[in-house]
Amino acid sequence: MTRPCVARKESRVKRGAVLVPILASTPPSVIFVERAAHLRRHPGQIAFPGGIEEPADGGDPVTTALRELHEELGIDAESVNVVGSLPEVEQFSSRFRITPVVAVLDADASVAVDGEEIADAFTVPLATIFEEGRLYPDESLGAARARTLYAFDHGERHIWGFTARILKSFVDAWSEPVSPIRAAVEAIIKPEVI
C-alpha cells in the first residue's frame, strides 16, 4: 500500500523559526540581519534572525528563534520579551515551514554579529515600516511567480522575498482593528513612542 503524496511531502518539510525583534529603543526599531556572502543558501540577503529547528529545541518555535537570535547576534533570552507569533510561512524554494515569533528586546540589548552566518545587522524604525507605501507589491518578481510578492527599501537595503512576506504578515497583524501583537508591544513600549 502506498502512502498519500501529502504525507510524504509533509515529512520532507523542515521546520524553523525567525524572530521579528523590536528593539525598545528611541525610536523603537526592528532589527534585520544581512546573511554572509559565503553561505550556500540566500547569501547576502536581508533576513530576520532565525533558522532551522534543532532536536534540542523540543519542537518549540520560540526556543528555536531565541537560540538563533543568540547564535547570530549574541542577544540573551533574558533581554527578550516574546509577545506572540505570526502565521506559519512556507518557504517554497527550500521546503521550510517557518514560524515568525514577535518579540520586544530591551533597549540596552547588546548586538554582537557572529561574523560567520551574519555579515551585518541594522535597524529600521518601527514607524518607518508602517509608513504608507513603504512595503509595496514587487510586480516584477511577483509576475515571474504568478503571485503577489512584496518588497521594502530602506536606504541602500532592499528587503524582498521570504523576509518581505514575513514583514507583510507582521504589518497586517499590527494593522488589525483589534491586534493582539500591537497590544502586547504597546504594553511594553508606550504607544506614543511608536
Cα dihedral 30, 179, 191, 101, rounded to 10, equals: -30
pLDDT, residue 142, reads 46
Q: What is the pLDDT of residue 33?
A: 94
Residue 6: what pLDDT? 44
| Residue matched to cell numbers 520586544 | 104
**Is 5 inside a domain boundary?**
no
In a domain, 116, yes or no: yes
DSSP-derived 3-state class of residue 119: strand
Q: Please report the pLDDT score of residue 43 as a whole number.
A: 57
Quote the pLDDT of residue 12: 75
In this prediction, the residues of the chain whose per-residue pLDDT falls under 50 are 1-9, 142-143
Domain that holds residue 174: 14-184
Asked whether residue 87 is domain-assigned, the answer is yes
pLDDT at 2: 44
Supply the CATH number for residue 154's domain: 3.90.79.10
How many separate domains does the chain show?
1
